[in-house]
Amino acid sequence: MTTDSITLFPHYHKISAQLTGLPVEVVHKILSDIQLSKLLALLCVCQNAYLDECVSSHLELRQLFPMPDLLDIKRRFTIYLRLLQFQPQHRRTIRIRLLDTDAQLLLQKSACTEDIRSDITVVTTGTLYDYAPLLPIYQEYHNEHKTGILIPHLHSWRFATTQELEYIFNALTTADNGIRRLQSEQLLNLAALVRDKHHMLRSAHDPSQEPRSDSHRLHLVAQYEHFASAVLKPWYKPPNFLFAGSLFPLIPYDRYLNLFDKTLYRWPESKHQYPPYLQTVLDGMQYSQHQGPAFTDFNVTKRDIFRAPFDVNCPWPKKEFEWLEAFIAICEYMCKMQEKWYRTSNREETVADFWRKHIELK
């Protein structure tokens, strides 16, 4: 859900311009033969005041869309169209049965303005209710970003007025738009990490500890960048392995975790003053009372920010990125430490030497 404008039916703008150049009586004849769903779409997409006047002066149409009811119905139908454009291409068909005819036939069925308003509202609210599983995530987004928007509990939704319908719609779309932007930023961040730190990181679902080829790295970067662009489309659902799983997509290779563990054991904080981001790393690791850090669970937080059902695609908490970036930074610090690792009668090795023996420094 991303835009205030309606991008459906772009060819309607050309039709609107052509009708504007015709006399009212000619426009009346054309409007008589237009299906009501297409007529309302034309009015909402183009927002042409001249066409509104033609509808209001049309013999049959003015009975169904008198002023100011026409303006109110347009507002409701605009919400419906905006929801429609958030669907995949094959589902962008107007499905309001009462509007599948022209004005004359509808009047013969004794339909009235309230029937049209009611049908549009029922179909629109039904689509809004489809987003019910996401309401906790959306409200959390509003709380985190202090938008001042409070989404009423689902059982409290009331759509007696157009303002109530617009409020719920705007609350959901604002959050969805923001969450998708955040997901896109996170995917670009993942792409940058793979591009710059691929020697330290592997995909969480790839158990191999072997360094990956440049072609594999470039493929993964391109994949993340593709997803970052795609997720901005309101109908797109990211693959589950990106946001819906229990593992953060990138984790360090075991050799870096082991070297970190050994270095901290040889040079604990009591013997060496580390940068402050070491604490970020330690706070994000599981501890064993006797064995020190235990590298068995690399998912630093479990949806600390967005507490969502397991299968809902929500952004990762910031702490996930903060921990990974802190771990990379502390490894890069440790691999340059000049403190002694061991000394013999004829040879001395520093911490940096020890790291150099076991990894390919970048």
The CA–CA distances, whole Å, from 276 to 251, 279, 280, 282 equal: 21, 6, 8, 11
Locate 331 and state its tokens: 């490894």
Please give the pLDDT value at position 103: 94
Please give the pLDDT value at position 345: 63
Question: Range with the lowest mean pLDDT among 15-29, 40-54, 75-89?
Answer: 75-89
Distance CA(332)–CA(143), nearest Å, equals 36
Question: Range with the lowest mean pLDDT among 181-190, 200-209, 288-297?
Answer: 288-297
pLDDT at 313 over 80: no
Kindly report whether the peptide bond that precedes residue 68 is cis, defined as omega within 30 degrees of 0. Answer: yes
- Model confidence band, residue 286 (pLDDT cutoffs 50, 70, 90): low
Q: Which helix (H) or strand (E) holds 288?
A: strand 286-288
Please give the pLDDT value at position 210: 87
pLDDT at 295 over 60: no
Nearest Cα to 324, choosing from 358, 292, 356, 299? 299
Please give the pLDDT value at position 361: 54
Distance CA(300)–CA(328), nearest Å, equals 14
Distance CA(137)–CA(142), nearest Å, equals 9
pLDDT at 310 over 70: no
Mean of pLDDT values over 230-239: 88
pTM above 0.85, yes or no: no
Mean of pLDDT values over 207-225: 91
Task: Summarize pLDDT for 90-136 with one digit per residue, the tens.
Answer: 778 888 999 999 999 999 999 999 999 999 999 999 999 988 888 88
Distance CA(286)–CA(257), nearest Å, equals 13
Whether residue 281 contacts residue 326, with contact meaning beta carbons closer than 8 Å, is answered with yes
Task: Summarize pLDDT for 319-332 with one digit per residue, the tens.
Answer: 889 999 999 999 99
299 compared with 180, residue with greater pLDDT: 180
Q: Which helix (H) or strand (E) holds 107?
A: helix 103-108
- Model confidence band, residue 360 (pLDDT cutoffs 50, 70, 90): low
Please give the pLDDT value at position 305: 33
DSSP letters along 294-308, please? ETT-----SSSS---
73 compared with 151, residue with greater pLDDT: 73
Cβ-based neighbour number of residue 298 at 10 Å:
19
Distance CA(231)–CA(249), nearest Å, equals 16
Mean pLDDT across the chain, nearest whole number?
A: 86
In sequence order, the β-bridge partners of residue 288 are 292
Question: Range with the lowest mean pLDDT among 42-51, 140-149, 324-333?
Answer: 140-149
